[in-house]
Amino acid sequence: MDVGIVNANEMIAYGDLEEDMKELCENLVFNKNEDATDEMLTRTAFERACIDARKKGVPLPRKPRGKIKNYPRKQFAYDNVEPTPATEPPLPTSDVAQNHVPNHYCNSRITHEKIEAIRAKTTMLSKPNIDYAQPADKYPESFPHFVRGRDSLREYITSLFTSRIAIYDGAMGTMIQNYGKRNKLEEEEYRGDRFKDWSCNTKGNNDQLSITQPHIIQGIYKAYLEEGGSDLIGTNTFSSTTIAMADYEMEDYVYELNYESARLAREACDEVTAKDPSKPRFVVGAIGPTNRTGSISPSVEDPSVRNVTFDELVDAYFEQIVGLMDGGSDILMVETIFDTLNAKAALYAIGEYLEFTGLDIPVFVSGTLVDQSGRTLSGQTGEAFYASIRHAKPMCVGLNCALGAKHMTPFVEKLANCVECFLHVYSNAGLPNAMGGYDETPEDMAEQNKVFFENGWLNMVGGCCGSTPPHIKAIREVSESYKPRKLPDVGRPKMWLSGLEDLVVDDVHNHLGLPFLNVGERCNISGSIRFKKLMMAGDYATAMDIAKKQVEDGAHVIDINVDDGLLDGVAAMQKFVKIAITEPDVSKGKFFL
């Protein structure tokens, strides 16, 4: 409207107008927005309809909603709770973790039937030693000294990670390849005497070398400890699960593979620690992702198909954990995670082991973002990945593999802004070249990692594919000039959900400024007759469109309920969810089951 004529006599009643009518009048008279005329015409039609309804004695029509005014988020008393400085990462709920009870390192005292059953089927030729406690007076009692069985490793790591940037090791595969370039390392060497008559080829099974060529593996461990200066080294067990070892028909050797790899690392760490007790070295039991995925279908025709179940993953990981701990591991790390469901299975298995043994074992978790999209292979952002596993109370979380330090920078920064525990990175030595090798020199890799140190993002750093002891040494020397990441202050609890992206519930609110989580109820058999008919008919594709529409319309969470007496609810739920998580437009929402 360009020109308006106002009857001054009507201004007498201006103060009697309803607030929404007053706003419509001011928008119209003062031309505050381009929709003012249309909004007033809609309201005028409503007022006329009301007059007609009163004359006819019928109910009044519904009042037009009008344009919704958005208010800023309302502040409550709990928003003003002052954060307190964190003294350590969030603790697991067990009494031993809460009270920092040292691990006794006498594994022979652990006699749970499930653990004993795994030990009983070992392929080892003689009964192994599984006790690693040290005399209480072996080294001085104060930090930086550490004695197994006397001191709490949780307390020690907290002191280490808050006093300086700790050093992890580098690539195992790269070092084995480098050894093979200088020495003969063919099928015969991989088999050794133990597997000389094996039924299939074993070259490439690097974990097997812990049994057949232990001097190679222990030599690599010592190189990282002595030349690289690593505080912690990972075991040569990336593929030591029954699932991964099926490729070599070595499922029965899983306990032995993990035990021997951990034992060799234990011996190397103890030997180097004895030379300088003020710098203890620790064994990190490495738990890889396996070569199967719990949340990704191997079939392009059927997205609900899986080649492994969650329970199978848990059983495989549990057996690996028993071998790693019996071999002398101090810490357990679930690493190179490209599918968060696999990681959850590993963390579940760790939880079982800790429950059965009553031990407090620090847990590290390391995810892998497969490309510059900053997502795992299963589609999650780094923040959503952390939100998915934070319930396990890992002591340290971070990223490794797939990318070089330069390409990891924006994703490490995001994690540093949200992770409540310690943070680590062990990147590749750049991106692979055309021949599959890595070109970054030790100096290049150290320089690329420098941005992490300058910004105070890390508590531990190491290397992955392409890195060697000289790379780790160069990174260590650069890191020594910088302080480690400070643990974030502890604020009030928050509800933190994850799908493909994460969602802090307090961050979403309605137009009134009140906290509001929008839950879509159309995928609930009890609330939608259409959804019920589709599920009864097995029409999952159309049912998925209902879920997709809810997310498009603004649902933060999708409530999924398929409980009906005439439907196999468990099977229907599994199939629906397995399909849903492969649909990006659906799985960017969160699921309530």
Instruction: Give the pLDDT of the chain (593 residues) as one tens digit per residue.
Output: 455 666 666 667 777 888 888 888 888 888 888 888 888 899 899 989 999 999 999 999 998 877 778 889 999 988 889 999 999 999 999 999 999 999 999 999 999 999 999 999 999 989 999 999 999 999 999 999 999 999 999 999 999 999 999 999 999 999 999 999 999 999 999 999 999 999 999 999 999 999 999 999 999 999 999 999 999 999 999 999 999 999 999 999 999 999 999 999 999 999 999 999 999 999 999 999 999 999 999 998 899 999 999 999 999 999 999 999 999 999 999 999 999 999 999 999 999 999 999 999 999 999 999 989 999 999 999 999 999 999 999 999 999 999 999 999 999 999 999 999 999 999 999 998 888 889 999 999 999 999 999 999 999 999 999 999 999 999 999 999 999 999 999 999 999 999 999 999 989 999 899 999 999 999 999 889 999 999 999 999 999 999 999 999 999 999 999 998 889 999 999 999 999 998 989 998 999 99
Strand partners, 462: 426
**Angle between helical axes of 310-326 and 340-357 (0-180°, round to 10):** 50
Q: How far apart are CA 523 and CA 516, in angstroms?
A: 20
Considering only the C-alpha atoms of the chain, give the largest distance between any 2 of them, rounded to a whole number of Å: 108
Residues contacting 57, CB < 8 A, separation 6+: none
Nearest residue to 4 (alpha-carbon basis) of 27, 22, 21, 20: 27
Nearest to 327 by CA among 423, 261, 419, 422: 261
Q: Which helix (H) or strand (E) holds 115?
A: helix 113-120
Closest by CA to 549, choosing from 585, 509, 574, is 585
The confidence score (pLDDT) of residue 66 equals 74
Report whether 227 contacts 469 (CB < 8 A): yes
Q: In what order do the strands lie in the sheet with 519-520?
A: 519-520, 557-559, 590-592
* Residue 321: CA count within 13 A, CB half-sphere: 27
Q: How far is CA 572 from CA 135, 295, 310, 365, in A?
A: 57, 16, 17, 32
Q: pLDDT at position 69, please?
A: 80
The span from the CA of 231 to the CA of 217, in Å, is 17
Give CA separation, 556 vs 215, 294, 395, in Å: 55, 24, 30
d(CA 360, CA 153): 9
Instruction: Let me know if 566 is exposed, middle or buried by CB neighbors in 10 A (0-12, 13-18, 19+).
Output: exposed
- Region at 8 (left for phi over 0; alpha for psi -120 to 50; beta for the rest): alpha
| Whole-angstrom distance, CA of residue 54 vs CA of residue 139 | 93
Cβ partners under 8 Å of residue 9, min gap 6: none
Nearby residues of 531 by Cβ (< 8 Å), 6 or more positions away: 522, 523, 524, 525, 543, 546
Per DSSP, 247 falls in state G
In a 10 Å sphere around its CB, with 0-12 CB exposed, 13-18 middle and 19+ buried, how is residue 487 labelled?
Answer: buried
- Write down the pLDDT at residue 11: 63
E strands, 377-522, are 396-404, 422-428, 460-463, 496-498, 502-504, 519-520
